[in-house]
Structure formats: structure tokens, C-alpha cells
Chain A
Amino acid sequence: MTADRSFAAAPRALPHDEIDELVGVPYQNSLGDDVYFPSRDGYVEICEALKRAGFATCRDLCGVDYLTNPGRALPDGVTPQRFEVVVVLLSHQRARQVRLRVMVPEDDPVVGTLFSVFPGTENMEREAYDMFGIRFDGHPDPTRILMPEEWEGHPLRRDYGMGRVPVQFKEAPGPR
């Protein structure tokens, strides 16, 4: 199996009418899912517009670190960056989801918070900050959630020092 299968060439999963126009950003069909690539500045506004269009719930929000895989398949007009924030929105009425992937540069890992649009992203954004060091501008409680408060580093980054702390699993060998 090869790694260069292009998702952009696949036919669109659903008839794209008002959502396409509403979002107006590069689109990709990823294995049948609708994926949009909003810019970092326009991302919160697009989420607000989608909420007005019925996408009332944020299903999931997580960070991804593409440090080891920078050359991934992206649609035209999207510059790959090290981090991504992936948001999955859900409309109960349409029983339909859309996914947004926001590029977040390594040297300035800040995006706007979705807290005011979807209060349910509060824990998820804290987790993304804790695990990747992506800061959410305007979040009411930008603290660590899973790791201890005084922890250094962000464990899910690809360059995090795994095995940095030596752990002894067996009894230490004797003098012989």
C-alpha cells in the first residue's frame, strides 16, 4: 500500500450547497467526510456561521502535531503548518457532521477560543493546550487539565522526550 492516495480526487460525499457557500474555504473529501480548511483568523467566525446554520454541537476538538509528516495531502491554497486544531461540528437536525482543520504555526501556536460559541469545547481546548501547547486566545481557564500544574512540556508533541525520566521496572542487579 502506498501513502500517496489523493483524497481530493474522490467525488464529494454529499450535495454541497449552502454549507459550501457558507464556509467558503478550501474543501477536501476525506474518506467520505466533509473537511474544510479555514484560516486561523476566520475560524471562529466560520464556526459562528455554522452554528447559525444548525450545527449546534461541537462533537470533538483536538490538536495534531505533524512534525514528522509535513508533506501531507492538502487542498490548494492551504499552507501546511506543524500543528493543526481539528474540530468536528454536528447538526442534530440534519444528522450531519463537518470537520474543520485549522493550521497552527509552530512559532506562534495561538488560535481563538470557541468557548463563546460552543461552551462544550472548554475541556477539549484545555486538553489541546495541555497536550500540544496550543493556546486558545480568550479561553476562561487556560490551565492544564490532565497533567500536573507544574509539568514541563507538552507530552503529545512528536518531539517530546520520551524516556526522559528513567524508570526502573525490575529490582536493581546485585553486586555480583
Chain B
Amino acid sequence: MTIEYEDRSQKGAGVDLDAPDEVEERLKAETSEGPQELVPLDRTDPRELAIETGGVLRVPESMVLDPDARDVSFGDGDTMILNLGPQHPSTHGVLRMMVELQGETVLRSKPVIGYLHTGMEKTGEALTYVQGATNVTRMDYLSPLPNELVYSLAVEKLLGVEIPPRATWIRMLMCELNRISSHVTWAATNGLDLAATTMMIFGFRERDLVLQFFEKTTGLRMNHNYIRPGGVAAELPDGWEDDVEVIVDTVGARLNDYDELITGQPIFRERTEGVGVIPPDLLVALSATGPLLRASGVPWDLRRSMPYLAYDEVDFDVIVGTVGDTFDRYAVRLNEIRESIKIIRQILEKMPAGDYRAQDKKVTPPPRARIDESMEALIHHFKLFTSGIEPPAGETYVAVESPRGELGCYLVSDGTNRPMRMHIRAPSFVNLQSVPAMLRGGLIADMIAILSSVDPVLGEVDR
């Protein structure tokens, strides 16, 4: 597409101030931002127009709907570009959507992201390996523990350290609890998007149960820095079995309330069934993972297919959907909470005794009491917190199943105490690519339900 574009930058220079027409022209033309008068759209610079209208909208041209093929009359056939966000309450943060509409039908759409970009990958290069977990935990703020886990696993793989079994099982326990809290928060915000306000209150109530246990264990409700290279930061608190049992019993019983409130509710089903259907082969091509992929019937769960930690020693089912619509994505997440409860009950039975972190002086700090009596321990402690861990040069890619999908960490070490490159493969970032394919041909009113069903966390999308 080439558009003849008139150079307007010289306009307004050297006008005769006495002529009223020229004054008007000059008032219109001369501002600090350049000429401001409205001109026809086809006179806009193609590059500028592309930015303004969302450029290449995310659906390939071959997949764009033919407006004439739909049995709706649209008047003169003009389409409209509508901007939603970045401050819209149903976009789960600062996601901006540009949608091309024909009447109420969505033709093409484009998620515009970057509003929360804080350069965390660059920050990761400036922090030592010991400090790094505090950085990555802030990416996906609804599930901070898998973030710390994937980073710690990558550092441990570069280092080649063995983790004691108890540390592994504590990590599993915390990550599964985090999956519960993340999924109930999703159910809460999804309910809010679909005007089920009670669901919002219920979801946050259950989330708080889990967060209270996190606070007791790690000291913080979010951004824990609990899972660290070499193990975990602290032993589980006394009586943790009782706390966890109360959580899983309560959440398990309340899931039945969710079923009564939401699952069978005609309004909810009307708004979600058959909405945003996406076939599995398209999702695989678009690199989608997590509940989004499983809802379309692909039984791909890293905990099962490429086990890490000790997931091969616990028994659980991979939940898959059949249709791949918004309702399936809801049902998959709800049942994944039940599977997480199943896993946690097994962890309660099988939790091994032992150390909660590797006793490797180069990786983990010595116990506090040792520092008072041993010069060597003091030196190790000092060295660890001043210069830190130095993994041998190399590169690795490690992935775990976060509540949103595959969370990967590509870590490159050059032999110093800071990573040379720390890249996080964020599931929300990748899953967002499927949104345009799901919105295509649907109604604008369904857009909120579809967006919510993908469960993007913008802290992770933008990093």
C-alpha cells in the first residue's frame, strides 16, 4: 500500500500576518508539535497510520473474516477500530486491545502490551545469582513461587548441585498451594468480569487462606523469595500439616459452593458455552500452553510429560476439555484445583525428613548459630552475600508448569557471579497471541469473557 503523502512540515513558514486566511492557516499549522489541522485519513503517513490503527492486526490476512459472508447487515460496510484499555477494569491490568469491528462482530484484533515493562530481564543481569530470586518473583504476581522455582532450577542446573528431598517436596507443596491461590483468584476476577460479584468475594476469601499460610511460612504474602538456589529459605512452621489440611479441606468443600453458584448457573453458561472456541492444532502452532491448551483437548502438562521436582512420584490427573470454549477453560481450572488438593494430600503423607536446603557452603549460607562459633562459616557467609555463587560458564533452558502454562527460564552464565542473560519465557506473554484467533468472528460482548478466560497476568507479559 502506497499513499501519496504531502510534506506538510514547511507549511506555516513565512506567512503574511495581515491576511486573515493566512493567520487562520498559521494558527492551525504552527504548534510545538507541528501542524495540527485535521486532514483526510488517506493523507496520513502510512507508518503513522499503521501505528494509529494497530498496524498489522494479529490475525493473518488469509484468516480474516469476510464481512459479506456473515448474515448481518452492516450498512455501508465500513469497519471501525475500537480501543479498549489500557485502563479498562476487565483487562486484568494494563492490557490494551485494539479491535476492528463490523457492527458488533470482531474481525481482527491486536493486544498492545508494554505498559508495565520494567526491564526485569535487564535487572536480572545486574543482580547476583543470590539476589536474582527477589527479581523474578515479581513477574507473575499471582503465582510468585513458580517464578522463583524456575529460576532456582536453572541456577542449580548450571551449578550441578543436588537438592535434598525435603527441599524438593517443600517446593512442590508451596507451588501446588500457589496453583490453588492463583486459580481461585482467576475464578474471582472471571466472575467479576461476568458480573458474578459473589464469586469475586468467594475467590479472594479462599486466596487469603493460602496467603495466610504463605505469610506464616515465608514472612510475606506475595513476592516471597522463599525458593532460592540451593533449596528453600526456611523450614516449614510448626504445625504446618494442620494448617495445610485446613486449607485443602476448606477449599475442597468450597469448590462445591462454586459449582452451585457458577457452574450450573444458566446466565454463566449462556455467556461462556461456545464462546471463543479455538481448535487444538491452532493453539499448538501458536505455542499456547497451560489450561488454555488443555481446555482444547491437548493433554500436555509439564508435570506429567517432562516431570521436574518429584511430580513423577505423586498421582494426579491431567484435566482436559473437549470443546475448547470459555466454559472448558473455566472447568479445567476448577478441576485443576481439585487435582492440586489431591497432590497436596499425598505430599502431606510422603513429606520426607531432612534438610530444607543443600549443605553446600558455596551455595547456601551456613546456619546462623555456626557463624558465632566458626571463622570458616563466617567467611562463607560473607563471601556468599558479597560475591555470591559463581556457576561455570554455560547455558540452559528449564521449564515448569506455572498456573498459566509453561514458565521457562533461559539462563546464560559466563562464569561470573551475575547471569550474562536471564530470559523468562512467560506463559501469559505467549498465550496472548491466541486471543485474536479466539475473538475473531465473535461478538464484542464476548470479548471480556474470552480475555478473562486466557488469564493473562500483565506483570509477566511485560516483565
Interface residues of A (CB under 8 A from B): 1-5, 7, 30-31, 33, 56-60, 62, 64-66, 68-69, 72-73, 86, 88, 92, 95, 97, 99, 118-124, 127, 131, 140-141, 143-149, 155-156, 160, 162
Are B420 and A7 in contact (CB-based, < 8 A)? no
Given contacts A88-B408, A124-B430, contact A3 B300 (CB under 8 A): no
For residue B429, CB closer than 8 A to chain A, the reply is yes
Q: How far is the CB of B24 from chain A (nearest CB, A)?
A: 31
For residue B432, CB closer than 8 A to chain A, the reply is yes
Are B414 and A3 in contact (CB-based, < 8 A)? yes
Q: Which residues of B contact A147 (CB under 8 A)?
A: 114, 117
Are B392 and A1 in contact (CB-based, < 8 A)? yes
Q: How far is the CB of B77 from chain A (nearest CB, A)?
A: 25
Interface residues of B (CB under 8 A from A): 51, 55-56, 58, 60, 113-114, 117, 119, 121-122, 126, 157-158, 160, 284-288, 298, 300, 305-306, 362, 390-397, 399, 406, 408, 410, 412, 414-415, 420-421, 423, 425, 429-430, 432-433, 462-463
Are B392 and A95 in contact (CB-based, < 8 A)? no
Q: Which residues of B contact A2 (CB under 8 A)?
A: 392, 415
Are B429 and A88 in contact (CB-based, < 8 A)? no
Are B287 and A58 in contact (CB-based, < 8 A)? yes
Q: How far is the CB of B48 from chain A (nearest CB, A)?
A: 10
Are A5 and B394 in contact (CB-based, < 8 A)? yes
State the CA gap A86–B412 with chains docked (Å).
11
Name the one of A69, A95, A122 contacting B306, with C-beta atoms under 8 angstroms.
Answer: A95
Q: Which residues of B contact A99 (CB under 8 A)?
A: 397
Are B286 and A141 in contact (CB-based, < 8 A)? no
A-B contact pairs, 30 of them (CB 8 A): A1-B391, A1-B415, A3-B393, A3-B415, A5-B392, A5-B393, A5-B394, A30-B394, A31-B158, A57-B287, A58-B287, A62-B410, A62-B423, A66-B420, A72-B414, A88-B397, A88-B425, A92-B305, A95-B305, A97-B306, A97-B397, A119-B285, A122-B433, A123-B433, A140-B60, A146-B113, A148-B114, A155-B119, A155-B122, A162-B122
Q: How far is the CB of A30 from chain B (nearest CB, A)?
A: 6
State the CA gap A56–B408 with chains docked (Å).
18
Tell me if A's interface is mostly helix, strand, loop or mixed: loop
Tell me if B's interface is mostly helix, strand, loop or mixed: mixed
Chain A residue nearest in CB terms to B425: A60
Q: Which residues of B contact A95 (CB under 8 A)?
A: 305-306
Name the one of B160, B362, B396 contacting A30, with C-beta atoms under 8 angstroms.
Answer: B396
Given contacts A59-B425, A60-B425, A118-B287, contact A72 B433 (CB under 8 A): no
State the CA gap A104–B32 with chains docked (Å).
41
Q: Which residues of A contact B391 (CB under 8 A)?
A: 1
Q: Which residues of A contact B394 (CB under 8 A)?
A: 5, 7, 30-31, 73
Extra 18 A-B pairs, beta carbons < 8 Å, given A68-B420, A95-B306: A1-B390, A1-B392, A5-B394, A33-B397, A60-B397, A73-B394, A86-B410, A88-B410, A119-B60, A123-B430, A124-B430, A141-B55, A145-B113, A147-B114, A148-B114, A155-B119, A156-B421, A160-B122
Q: Which residues of A contact B396 (CB under 8 A)?
A: 30-31, 33
Q: Which residues of A contact B397 (CB under 8 A)?
A: 33, 59-60, 86, 88, 97, 99
Given contacts A3-B393, A95-B305, contact A121 B287 (CB under 8 A): yes
State the CA gap A60–B410 with chains docked (Å).
9
Q: Which residues of B contact A56 (CB under 8 A)?
A: 284-285
Q: Which residues of A contact B114 (CB under 8 A)?
A: 144-148
Q: Which residues of A contact B287 (CB under 8 A)?
A: 57-59, 118, 120-121
Q: Which residues of B contact A64 (CB under 8 A)?
A: 395, 412, 420-421, 423
State the CA gap A135–B5 with chains docked (Å).
27
State the CA gap A160–B433 with chains docked (Å).
29
Q: Which of B51, B117, B397, B399 has the most CB of A within 10 A?
A: B397
Q: Which residues of B contact A73 (CB under 8 A)?
A: 393-394
Q: Which residues of A contact B412 (CB under 8 A)?
A: 64
Are A60 and B408 in contact (CB-based, < 8 A)? yes
Q: Which of B113, B287, B420, B463 has the most CB of A within 10 A?
A: B287
State the CA gap A5–B60 with chains docked (Å).
46
State the CA gap A57–B408 with chains docked (Å).
14
Q: How far is the CB of A82 from chain B (nearest CB, A)?
A: 13
Top 6 nearest A-B pairs by Cβ distance?
Answer: A3-B415, A120-B287, A141-B56, A60-B425, A69-B414, A146-B114
Are A131 and B410 in contact (CB-based, < 8 A)? no
Given contacts A59-B425, A140-B56, A149-B51, contact A118 B393 (CB under 8 A): no
Q: Which residues of B contact A60 (CB under 8 A)?
A: 397, 408, 410, 423, 425
Q: Which residues of A contact B433 (CB under 8 A)?
A: 119-120, 122-123
Chain B residue nearest in CB terms to A115: B60
Q: Which residues of B contact A122 (CB under 8 A)?
A: 58, 433
Are B393 and A120 in contact (CB-based, < 8 A)? no
Q: Which residues of B contact A145 (CB under 8 A)?
A: 113-114
State the CA gap A146–B463 with chains docked (Å).
9
State the CA gap A148–B362 with chains docked (Å).
41
State the CA gap A43–B415 with chains docked (Å).
29
Are B117 and A4 in contact (CB-based, < 8 A)? no
